[in-house]
């Protein structure tokens, strides 16, 4: 039995962290945290941290929301990812995310 927890965290009026987590019992079986920004009326992904197929990784997207690159990532809880987003915001797009 899978319980999905979906959170939309508003960082600014035009920046959100869109979080989806799936739990099997107490175990977090999947996480997907997408930092989105509002561009010309559309919410586009900028960075996404997730564990799709059990592989922790972080994806970056270009100005049009297309996937640009993918890096390995160490599993961190949502609170840590939110702290990164609130601290660095759009600067995350030009930082070495694998070091964060």
Partner 1 sequence: MRVEVARDLGKADLAREVAEMETRHGSFDGLRQRVFVERCADPRAVDDYVLWKALRDEGGGLEDRTVFDTPEVFRTLTPRRVEMLEFLRHAEVASIQDLAAKLRRDYKNTYDDLAALKAWGLVAVLREGKNQRPVSHVTSLRVSWEK
Binding site for partner 1 (CB under 8 A): 1-13, 18, 20, 22, 30, 32, 34, 45, 48, 50, 52-53, 57, 59, 66-67, 70, 82, 86
CA 27 to each of CA 19, 21, 31, 83: distance values in angstroms, whole numbers, following the listed order: 16, 10, 11, 22
Task: Give min distance, CB of 94 to partner 1, in A.
Answer: 20
Question: 28 near 49, Cβ under 8 Å?
Answer: no
Task: Give min distance, CB of 43 to partner 1, in A.
Answer: 9
Cα–Cα distance between 12 and 73 in angstroms, integer?
25
Task: Give min distance, CB of 1 to partner 1, in A.
Answer: 4
């Amino acid at each position: 039995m899978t319980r999905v927890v979906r959170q939309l965290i508003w960082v600014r009026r035009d920046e959100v962290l869109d979080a989806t987590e799936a739990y099997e019992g107490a175990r977090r079986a999947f996480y997907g945290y997408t930092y989105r920004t509002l561009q010309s009326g559309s919410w586009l992904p900028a960075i996404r941290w997730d564990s799709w197929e059990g592989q922790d990784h972080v994806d970056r997207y270009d100005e049009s929301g297309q996937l640009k690159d993918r890096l390995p990532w160490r599993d961190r809880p949502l609170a840590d990812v939110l702290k990164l987003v609130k601290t660095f915001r759009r600067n995350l797009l030009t930082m070495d995310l694998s070091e964060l």
